[in-house]
Structure 1
Amino acid sequence: MSAPHRIVIAGGGTAGWIATCLMAHHWRDKPVSITLVESADIATVGVGEGSTPTLKRFFSDLNIAESDWMPACNATYKVNIRFKGWSPQNGPDSYSHPFISQPDAFTERPFHVNCHNRRLGLDVNVTPEQFLLNGWLAGAGKAPVAPTSFPFRIEYGYHFDSALLGRYLKRHAVSLGVNHIEGKIDDVITSLSGHITSLKLQSGEIVDGDFFIDCTGFRSLLLQQTLDIRFNPFSENLFNDRAAVLATPAQARLPVETTSTALSNGWAWSIPLSSRTGNGYVFSSAHLSDDKAEAELRRHLSVQDNEGDVRFLSMRVGQVEKHWHKNCLALGLAQGFIEPLEATALHLVQLSVEFFIEDYEQGNFSPALQDKFNKDVTERFSGVRDYIVAHYKLNTRDDSAYWRENRNNMALSESLLQLLDVWYRKGDFPAEIQRQNIQSHFGITSWHCLLAGYGIFPPLAKQQPGRGDLYKDNDTEAFFKGCLLNFPDHSAYLKDVANSFPAVKSSLY
């Protein structure tokens, strides 16, 4: 490139600033200029979020220490998601979906084998969290950090205040040389070919660019409104379109997991931050009114009507037909959204940005690999959707029409139908996941956590061999109890980190 390649990002929020930081960092030695335009008048949706381990890689790639950003964003560690009340007729009241860490290489296959044997009728242990280190860390309330004498990679995510994180990333992006403009977009100007050429602000300022990133939220001002790219909803198999949000005080002992509790017409999240607990009720407006949702959420949290304000959010669940079209890429809510059950929103944003950086650069900053990119990102969205849909399809609740309609819903993808068919027919489930090549969405162990956690098994055989339980045979409990000795208490560790860096937090205000 003979002249600087001008990338303009429309909209801030967590998605916009993640994209800005990654591009500015990766292209710091190339003739690329990055400008982000945002308006203080447009509020972001963030309500206090949880992440997958992908975000851990984000901070590592940017060389940002946890001791720097976590206290600034009231962040806590997250190693697990606990699901309560989703399958009351099949098994325990709750089950866990832990993130997979390196020590699990010793126990993942025994977990898979035990699940297969349980599908054949054997009475063996198939409790997901007992086979995975992060399940034990969650149960013991341990932070997922260990001394160098425990030389294994531990994967984990975070809980954080999304508004504070956006503010933090803004400061970091500006330090990387990003141009930040505050202003409201009044018009999107296109050429005769339909490519975007500039953004016109209400102030009259014109922001020219060569490539544009749409981070304008559900309204998708650039990709959907200006370039007329169609949005494909997932409403036929994901019914939820509303969320009621209510914060409560921080917990005295901070959990290291997100909790998802099934309610009458959806589910409630609990996200523990160091400053407060984020709570919300994700529900279907076709099955429940806002007033009844608020009342049920307050009952669930034991919060009185005069305690705290509940706000409501609308969700547009689905994805755009093309994530990258002409010279515009949509990210975050502008590209699509899959309800927050497995905290995949920022995961999909980050993957999309990483894919784009690789494909755009490999294509010499041209649309040469646009079709490949769209195929890859669309497949990721579809794979995440199928895993989320399975949570609803396999539920065993019978307390409302909502849950029965989810269970009876047959609007399933061919991929999901084949997975469930192999599981129920007692076939080789890991081989089916590999055959479909969908390990990059949710892997073999994640699917086993879901299906075993829901108790999707036949009745036990009358004749039991009395052996063959690899959990017992391998003394798995002793292995993980030994591992736990290397990890500190979560709440105490966070307090030590925050006290060590008091200036970081105050400098953001």
Structure 2
Amino acid sequence: MSDTATVYRQRASARPRIEAEPPIRHVAVVGGGTAGWMTALLLAHSGYGPRLQVTVLESPQVGIIGVGEGSTSWLRGFFEELGIEESEWMPACHATYKSGIRFDGWSTRPGHESYFHAFASMLDNLTMTQFVDHVHRRLDGEDVHAHPDRYFLATRLAHACKAPRPRHEFPFDVWYGYHFDSVLLGAFLQRKAVERGIRHLPRHVVAVDRNERGDIASLQLEGGETLAADFFVDCTGFAGLLIDKTLQTPYVSYADALFNDAAVAMPTPLDGPIMSQTISTALRHGWAWTIPLTRRHGNGYVYSTAFCTPEQAETELRTQLGLLDADVPAKHLRMRTGRVEQHWHRNCLAVGLAQGFIEPLEATALMLVQRTASLFVDALEKGDLGAAAQATFNTAVNAQFDGTRDYIVAHYKTNTRTDTDYWRANAANTRLSEPLTRLLKTWLARRPIVGGIQQGTFGQGYPVMSWYSLLAGMGLFPDDGELRAPAAHEPPHSLAAIDNLIQRSALNFPDHRELLGAIPPRPREESLQVYFW
């Protein structure tokens, strides 16, 4: 319904030039990787142009955390804003298209053992009303079809291994994401940044100097060099060299609501069709990801060390992949979930793992990087970096982090598995935020949550479509024995008509592997509008 929809729009156009002088002249980004180079590119793309000098320090001594990764649809907007074609960056990063995420085994409710969280498309405006109406009616006890997989085009495309880029003749867009090799993506962004005039210093920071006000003044580099700047961006990962070790910014842990603190990853060969979806499969003490790249599958297991050891997790993942006796190396990672209280503290901005992390589920890491950097560029272009602007910024970024956390926590809280202590503990967890508690209570009371999400009362960070897909997909409805037949005077919406619309629309999308072989340029005059409930 257009009167309740919000519009998300991205245009591949340069920011307008700002005639005023920038409030800062030189920004030093400490740490490379995807977060560092994304931030540097967005800063250099500001309306100040080359008048804002950007330097990236990348330590040769510090490795990059990198496994096969997925993104939300926000990454598409990043490349389009910078004018970087998919035909250029995707082959260089072994990237594939992503229509959404399939969740397998999170629910044991009959008919809800699997569901798909679809990225939105313009055609969803023709099916979303029916889906939400059927969800409300099933919550009210009517036996109508309310599983999300039946209602969205992206689900059909993923099931058929089709790319979510329609042929030119079909004027309806899908707002898709990507899968990619994160190490290769970081290297690609570095090359683009250097091409666009961003200075790259492969140096290791040995000390941080502060001025009499307590702000960061300069960095002491190995070899005796000193780098001074007006503003600093901390992209040093979990080390938090500037935001944590230097400025000692308080940290808010999410560990009481998100139990996972480790992961193990390993690749497998890719043969046959290429999926356009991430698969998240619930295992005994966490969940396993399957991510299709052009040359291999990225696989991993995210788990809690409070419930199993790294060795047990690796064995379970190898068993899942049929690699128990194979000589395939595994990469073990530790992670910390939470966020800093102030992402922008004094003259320092923390981005990426230095600012916080909400585990890999739903692939939100780069979205948070992009939104943090973009919000800072917006503040910078207004020309005011004072205390009020800083407070407004931190409030907005914290709300994004906390809202995203709530959406991730809801996956675990609503699971119905009882096979291990891990899943039982997640279902019994009461350490939920007040907004998430209110949202779940509203749903379980069989009342609509649309109004609360749209008004920002709860469910911030994700649209109605996502929340309804999650809760309906997990089967949070009255038991089948409690359901009654729909009233004769108010029949359900026609599933045949929905199937016909989606099936015929899907004919306009190419095979995924076929499109990856020759990615066409995107018309520059295209204006993308995707309507989210």
Q: What TM-score do you get using the length of structure 1 for normalisation?
A: 0.95
Contact 2:439–2:458 at 8 Å: present in 1 too?
no
- Alpha-carbon distance, 1:365 to partner: 4.5
Aligned ranges 1:74-89 → 2 under 5 Å: 74-89=94-109
Moved more, 457-466 or 285-294: 457-466
Report the residue type matching 1:483 in the other structure: S
Summarize the Cα distance change of 1:3–1:117 in structure 2 as closer, same or farther, 3 Å threshold.
Answer: closer
- Alpha-carbon distance, 1:140 to partner: 1.3
- Structure 1 residue 269 corresponds to structure 2 residue 289: yes
C-alpha distance after superposition, 1:32-82 (max 9, x if no partner): 100000012211112111000000000000001101110010000001100
- Alpha-carbon distance, 1:490 to partner: 0.4
Summarize the Cα distance change of 1:312–1:423 in structure 2 as closer, same or farther, 3 Å threshold.
Answer: same
- Alpha-carbon distance, 1:161 to partner: 0.5
Aligned ranges 1:170-319 → 2 under 5 Å: 170-319=190-339
Report the residue type matching 2:500 in the other structure: A
State which of 471, 482, 486 in structure 2 corresponds to 1:451. Answer: 471
- Alpha-carbon distance, 1:470 to partner: 4.5
- Structure 1 residue 138 corresponds to structure 2 residue 158: yes
Summarize the Cα distance change of 1:129–1:276 in structure 2 as closer, same or farther, 3 Å threshold.
Answer: same
- Alpha-carbon distance, 1:433 to partner: 1.4
Moved more, 430-439 or 367-376: 430-439
Report the residue type matching 2:115 in the other structure: Y
- Alpha-carbon distance, 1:134 to partner: 0.5
> Secondary structure, in 3 states, of the residue corresponding to 2:396?
helix
- Alpha-carbon distance, 1:466 to partner: 6.6
> Higher helix proportion, which one?
1
> Secondary structure, in 3 states, of the residue corresponding to 2:504?
helix
User: Which residue number in structure 2 is paired with residue 476 of structure 1?
Assistant: 498
User: Which residue number in structure 2 is paired with residue 503 of structure 1?
Assistant: none
C-alpha distance after superposition, 1:193-242 (max 9, x if no partner): 11001111111111110000000000100011000101211010100000
Tell me how far apart the structure 1 counterparts of residues 492 and 155 of structure 2 sit (CA, whole Å). Answer: 17
Tell me how far apart the structure 2 counterparts of residues 200 and 132 of structure 1 sit (CA, whole Å). Answer: 54
> Secondary structure, in 3 states, of the residue corresponding to 1:341?
coil
- Alpha-carbon distance, 1:394 to partner: 0.7
Moved more, 207-216 or 488-497: 488-497
State which of 466, 485, 501 in structure 2 corresponds to 1:464. Answer: 485
Tell me how far apart the structure 1 counterparts of residues 427 and 56 of structure 2 sit (CA, whole Å). Answer: 44
- Alpha-carbon distance, 1:473 to partner: 5.7
User: Which residue number in structure 1 is paired with residue 129 of structure 2?
Assistant: 109
Moved more, 117-126 or 260-269: 117-126
Contact 1:258–1:271 at 8 Å: present in 2 too?
yes
User: Which residue number in structure 1 is paired with residue 508 of structure 2?
Assistant: 486
- Alpha-carbon distance, 1:413 to partner: 0.7
Contact 1:50–1:343 at 8 Å: present in 2 too?
yes
Report the residue type matching 1:398 in the other structure: T
> Secondary structure, in 3 states, of the residue corresponding to 1:61?
helix
User: Which residue number in structure 2 is paired with residue 428 of structure 1?
Assistant: 448
State which of 46, 56, 75 in structure 2 corresponds to 1:55. Answer: 75
- Alpha-carbon distance, 1:341 to partner: 0.6
- Structure 1 residue 121 corresponds to structure 2 residue 148: no
Tell me how far apart the structure 1 counterparts of residues 290 and 182 of structure 2 sit (CA, whole Å). Answer: 15
> Secondary structure, in 3 states, of the residue corresponding to 2:45?
helix
Tell me how far apart the structure 2 counterparts of residues 469 and 258 of structure 1 sit (CA, whole Å). Answer: 35
Tell me how far apart the structure 2 counterparts of residues 456 and 90 of structure 1 sit (CA, whole Å). Answer: 11
Tell me how far apart the structure 2 counterparts of residues 177 and 30 of structure 1 sit (CA, whole Å). Answer: 8
Summarize the Cα distance change of 1:259–1:143 in structure 2 as closer, same or farther, 3 Å threshold.
Answer: same
Aligned ranges 1:342-381 → 2 under 5 Å: 342-381=362-401
Query: Percent of pairs identical after alignment?
Result: 45
- Alpha-carbon distance, 1:492 to partner: 1.4
Aligned ranges 1:146-161 → 2 under 5 Å: 146-161=166-181
Summarize the Cα distance change of 1:12–1:336 in structure 2 as closer, same or farther, 3 Å threshold.
Answer: same
Aligned ranges 1:20-35 → 2 under 5 Å: 20-27=40-47, 29=49, 31-35=51-55
Report the residue type matching 2:519 in the other structure: V
Tell me how far apart the structure 1 counterparts of residues 145 and 23 of structure 2 sit (CA, whole Å). Answer: 63
Tell me how far apart the structure 2 counterparts of residues 434 and 292 of structure 1 sit (CA, whole Å). Answer: 43
RMSD (Å) for aligned C-alpha atoms: 1.7
Report the residue type matching 1:78 in the other structure: K
Tell me how far apart the structure 2 counterparts of residues 462 and 164 of structure 1 sit (CA, whole Å). Answer: 52
Q: What TM-score do you get using the length of structure 2 for normalisation?
A: 0.91
Give the gaps of 5 or more residues in structure 2: 1-20, 521-533
